[in-house]
Amino acid sequence: MEGRLQEIRDQCQALLWGGERALPGGLKGGAVCALRIGYAVFRDLAAGQLTLRAMSLVYTTLLSLVPLLAVSFSVLKGFGVHNQVEPMLLNLLTPLGEKGVEISQTIIGFVENMRVGVLGAVGMALLLYTVISLIQKIERAFNFIWRVDKARPFAQRFSDYLSVILIGPVLVFSALGATASVMSTSVVQSLVAIQPLGYLVNFGAKMLPYLLVIAAFSFVYCFVPNTRVRLGSALVGAIVAGVLWQSVGWGFASFVVSSASYTAIYSGFAILILFMIWLYLAWLILLIGATIAFYHQHGEYLISRQREFRLSPRQREQLALLAMYHVGTQHLNGGTPWTAEALAAHLRVPLGSLQRALNTLEEGGLLSPDHAQPPAYLPARALERIPIHAILETMHRAEEKGLLGPWQVRREPAVDQVLEEAENAASRRLDGRSLRALLEDAGTEASDS
């Protein structure tokens, strides 16, 4: 029996990872890709980072939920739709059953009792800080999933966060109100009376919650990460997350109904505990959908069983030289500058590995991104003023300031002399050769061949 199980396990491994460099075509390729995405998601869950970030978001949500609703309530009150806040909150807490009604009434009571004039300037600043910190933590969690090391610039972050806090609630509740108004019109009611159109309208009404959740998740997956997310990949992740949201909601509602023992043990704290569990599941579902969207867009991460690709120092230097070579070629020929995603696809390397190399070259003053979104990369100075040795040295000494530096190690003159001789030998061997000379030599060799 044990031998048979091992054989089945080996066959599954061969099916998933037998052809790591290329997926088969057709339905088999789609099935293998879906299985690899599932494996990658479970691997990331087992690693613990997704669950840890979901728990962190639960804590931040508890701190900032009332201030966030207070800000949204104030904005919506100006548009006369503030009465929609409680029904929306009740809808989100539906899996909690009667306890969800009690929690929503308590939260709305806190919001209505909040007086901005009583808070003062310091209190108002703290209120806005707790709201912004929630959005900032959400962005960091999504950037972690999408392997993005750089956050948005402060000015862009401020404008984006302000848009989410002030404009987002208006759009959401306006869409919900418009949907309810359309469903209650006489035209729609007359269509319901006509069969089979009535069945279709009723089916659409039942599917509307799914569609709204999927649309909301798709917007979050496209907007929050500090990178370009394709709409198709965002939809794939949103569909899976939306189905999970509804399915887990039904399961959790059944759990709440049968949780009388928790009420007996924890008494009044049972409501808070159930609320925190549901918040945790909700955030975890949202992060799982983002993970699926990432792997759907970046299939190159599915050729390995590891979450991250580890490059040797030699491979990092090779990648940096290749990046500088192609950026310099486009600049010399007057072509369209490379974006990180386009260059990663051209070099057939993971975007995260290339992005780290580009960030290091940017910090070393060798590359400069433009102001487009997503940014394209240009040489930071004239090509003849970029020595090849400087590129290699920049990668060689990358992140030394954040690591154990040579000044923290006991020095040995003989070892220092060997290292200095090696560096000088490499510099002399390259003989001051510049990036422009490399590009011109490559062009000469191409014409000769």
What is the identity of the amino acid at 217? F
- 20, two tokens: 């790591």
Residue 78, both tokens: 């100006």
- The pLDDT value recorded for residue 289 is 94
Task: Give the per-residue pLDDT at 263.
Answer: 60
pLDDT digits (tens, 9 = 90+) for 55-77: 988 888 887 777 777 766 666 66
Q: What is the pLDDT of residue 447?
A: 43
Predicted pLDDT of residue 448: 41
**Are 139 and 53 spatial neighbours (Cβ–Cβ below 8 Å)?**
no
- What pLDDT does residue 236 have? 93
The pLDDT value recorded for residue 292 is: 94
* Concatenated DSSP letters of 343-397: HHHHHT--HHHHHHHHHHHHHTTSEEE-SSSS-EEEESS-GGGSBHHHHHHHHHT
Among 243, 245, 221, 216, which Cα is nearest to 232's?
221
* pLDDT means over runs of 10, the chain (449 residues): 66 60 61 83 88 89 76 64 65 72 75 60 69 82 86 71 62 55 56 63 67 83 87 92 85 73 62 84 92 88 71 85 92 89 86 86 89 85 88 79 60 82 78 83 55
Whether domain 313-448 has CATH 1.10.3720.10? no
CA distances from 218 to 187, 201, 305 (A): 30, 24, 27
Measure the CA–CA gap between 347 and 123, rounded to whole angstroms: 52
pLDDT attached to residue 94: 73
The domain ranges of the chain are: 2-46, 50-303, 313-448
Which residue spans within 258-397 are E strands per DSSP? 338-339, 367-369, 376-379
| Amino acid identity at 304 | S
Query: CA-to-CA distance for 247 and 243, rounded, in angstroms?
Result: 6
- Residue 426 vs residues 312, 351, 388, 433: alpha-carbon distances, Å: 19, 29, 10, 11
CA pair distance 272, 268, nearest whole angstrom: 8
Q: Which residues pair with 378 in a beta bridge?
A: 368
